[in-house]
Homo-oligomer: A and B are copies of this chain.
Amino acid sequence: MRDVAVIGVGMNRWGELWEKSHRRIWTEAALEAVADAGVDHLDALYVGCMSGGLFMGQEHLGALLADQLGMGPIPGTRVESACASGGLAFRQAYLSVASGEHDLVLATGLEKMTDVEGGAATYALSTAADQEYECYQGITFPGLYAMMMRVHMHRYGTTRKQLAEVAVKNHENGSRNPLAQFPGRVTVEQVMESVMVADPIRVLDCSPITDGAAAVVIAPVELARGMKKDSIIRVAASAAATDTIALHDREDLAWLGSTQRAAEIAYKKAGVGPGDLSFCEVHDCFTIAEVMVIEALGLMDRGKGGEGAASGFTALDGRVPVNPSGGLKSKGHPVGATGVAQIREAVLQLRGACGDRQVKDARVGLTQNMGGTGASSVVHIFERV
C-alpha cells in the first residue's frame, strides 16, 4: 500500500446555519480544502453523512456534491456509519489512494441537522441505535449514554464533578477555536446545575445539534513531496472496528470495545503506543463518552478515565491534550462532518497552525470517531514527516 498524506484542509464556522443550504455549507469547506492543497483537479470525492434522507430529504450526495463542486464526472461516494460517517468516509478515501486507484481525493463530511421540525432530529439520530430493540421501546441517545454513565459512576466511583470537568476543558479549548459553535466557557457548577436531560446526563454534558461540513484533500506522500509542501502530514494508520449495536448485548456497558479494537490495530500499524501521542481528538458526544474513550485508547487505566480532565492530564498543557479543538462539545457535532473535522484539527496541530490552542511540539496525533453507543469506531493516527 502507498503512503498517504493530507495536503489540504477546510471547514466553515459551525452552528445553526439557517441562511445556507447543505450544498453551500459543504462547498465552502470543500473549496477551502482544495485551495489549501493547491490542486486544480481531483480524482474522486467521498462524503460522510449520517442521514441525508431524514435530515435533509436528500440522498445521493456523492453525485450531487461532485456536480456542485464542478468536478463531475469524478466518482462521488457517500459513506455512512452514524456519527462515525466522517471518519469512515476518510478511511475509504484513504484506501482508494493507498491502493493506487486514485491520486488526489477529497474526503469530506456534512450534516445539516436543524432544517427539521421539533423531535425529528432526535428521531433521525436514534436511527444510529438498534431501532427494533432499543428505540421502539422509547429510549434515545441521552438515555443510552445515561445508562453507560450510571454504570461507570457506580462501578468506578467516577463523580459528577469529574464528568463536568470534561465539559469545562472542552469549552475552554473551544473558546480558542474561531469556528466553534459554542465557544463560551462553562464552569463545573454550571454543568452540574444545568437542565437534566436523562439522569445523570445534563444538557451541558451533551454535544449540540449542528449544521456544518469539513473537508480534507489527500494524496500519495510521494506526490505531496513533489509539490514541495512545507509540512507533510502522513496517515500513519487507519483502522475501524464494530461492537454490538444494541447496548444490552454488551458484556460491559462501561467499556468501548470497538474503540479499543480499532486503537489496537492502529497503534500496531503506526508502530506507536498511547505514550507516543502528542494529542488526541476524540468523540465526546457526551462527557461520559470522552471518559470511556480515553480508557479504550489506553491513555488512562480502565475505570480511571474520570481523572483525565479533572487531574489536568488531558488539558491543552497536560500530558496528552484531548480535544484541543473543543471537541464535539464546544465545536459542535454535525454528525457526518465530525470525523473529518477531527482530522482537520489533527493536521493543523501537526502543522503548528493552531494559534492559541496549539499543542506544544505536536508530532503524533490520533483521531477517534464513533457511531451510536460505540457500535462502530474509526481511529486514525497522523504524524509530521
Residues of A within 8 A of B (CB): 1, 21, 23, 44, 50-54, 56-64, 66-67, 72-82, 88, 91-92, 95-96, 98-101, 124, 127-132, 240-246, 249, 257-258, 261, 371-372, 375-376
The residues of B that contact A51 with a CB separation of less than 8 Å are 53, 59
Nearest chain B CB to A261 CB, angstrom units: 5
- Of B57, B66, B75, B371, the residue contacting A60 (CB under 8 A) is B371
Contact between B60 and A81 (Cβ–Cβ < 8 Å)? yes
Contact between A127 and B77 (Cβ–Cβ < 8 Å)? no
Instruction: Please measure, in the bound complex, the distance between the C-alpha atom of A79 and the C-alpha atom of B67, giving whole angstroms.
Output: 19
Contact between A66 and B242 (Cβ–Cβ < 8 Å)? yes
The residues of B that contact A58 with a CB separation of less than 8 Å are 127, 131-132
Instruction: Please measure, in the bound complex, the distance between the C-alpha atom of A246 and the C-alpha atom of B245, giving whole angstroms.
Output: 36
Contact between B79 and A243 (Cβ–Cβ < 8 Å)? no
- Of B53, B60, B371, the residue contacting A375 (CB under 8 A) is B60
Contact between B76 and A63 (Cβ–Cβ < 8 Å)? no
Task: Jot down 7 A-B pairs with beta carbons below 8 A, ordered by A.
Answer: A1-B101, A58-B127, A60-B82, A60-B372, A63-B245, A67-B249, A79-B80
Instruction: Please measure, in the bound complex, the distance between the C-alpha atom of A100 and the C-alpha atom of B380, giving whole angstroms.
Output: 18
Known: A21-B132, A78-B80. A62 touches B99 (CB 8 A): no
Contact between A64 and B375 (Cβ–Cβ < 8 Å)? yes
The residues of B that contact A44 with a CB separation of less than 8 Å are 240
Nearest chain B CB to A115 CB, angstrom units: 11
Nearest-neighbor residue (CB-CB) of A239 within chain B: B75
Instruction: Please measure, in the bound complex, the distance between the C-alpha atom of A100 and the C-alpha atom of B62, giving whole angstroms.
Output: 25
Known: A53-B51, A63-B372. A77 touches B82 (CB 8 A): no
The residues of B that contact A241 with a CB separation of less than 8 Å are 72-75
Instruction: Please measure, in the bound complex, the distance between the C-alpha atom of A332 and the C-alpha atom of B222, giving whole angstroms.
Output: 47
Contact between B100 and A67 (Cβ–Cβ < 8 Å)? no
Instruction: Please measure, in the bound complex, the distance between the C-alpha atom of A112 and the C-alpha atom of B345, giving whole angstroms.
Output: 39
Of listed A54, A63, A127, A261, residue having the most chain B CB within 10 A: A63
- Of B79, B99, B375, the residue contacting A79 (CB under 8 A) is B79
Instruction: Please measure, in the bound complex, the distance between the C-alpha atom of A334 and the C-alpha atom of B140, giving whole angstroms.
Output: 29
Contact between A62 and B81 (Cβ–Cβ < 8 Å)? yes
Contact between A81 and B63 (Cβ–Cβ < 8 Å)? yes
Of listed A59, A72, A132, residue having the most chain B CB within 10 A: A59
The residues of B that contact A62 with a CB separation of less than 8 Å are 80-81, 88, 242, 376
Contact between B79 and A78 (Cβ–Cβ < 8 Å)? yes
Instruction: Please measure, in the bound complex, the distance between the C-alpha atom of A63 and the C-alpha atom of B82, giving whole angstroms.
Output: 9
Nearest-neighbor residue (CB-CB) of A88 within chain B: B77
Contact between A1 and B244 (Cβ–Cβ < 8 Å)? no
The residues of B that contact A64 with a CB separation of less than 8 Å are 130, 245, 375
Instruction: Please measure, in the bound complex, the distance between the C-alpha atom of A75 and the C-alpha atom of B92, giving whole angstroms.
Output: 12
Of listed A21, A50, A67, residue having the most chain B CB within 10 A: A67
Instruction: Please measure, in the bound complex, the distance between the C-alpha atom of A67 and the C-alpha atom of B375, giving whole angstroms.
Output: 9
The residues of B that contact A131 with a CB separation of less than 8 Å are 56-58
The residues of B that contact A372 with a CB separation of less than 8 Å are 60, 63
- Of B56, B73, B375, the residue contacting A257 (CB under 8 A) is B73
Known: A60-B375, A92-B92, A98-B99. A74 touches B127 (CB 8 A): no
Contact between B258 and A60 (Cβ–Cβ < 8 Å)? no
The residues of B that contact A56 with a CB separation of less than 8 Å are 131
- Of B66, B91, B127, the residue contacting A59 (CB under 8 A) is B127
Instruction: Please measure, in the bound complex, the distance between the C-alpha atom of A91 and the C-alpha atom of B99, giving whole angstroms.
Output: 12
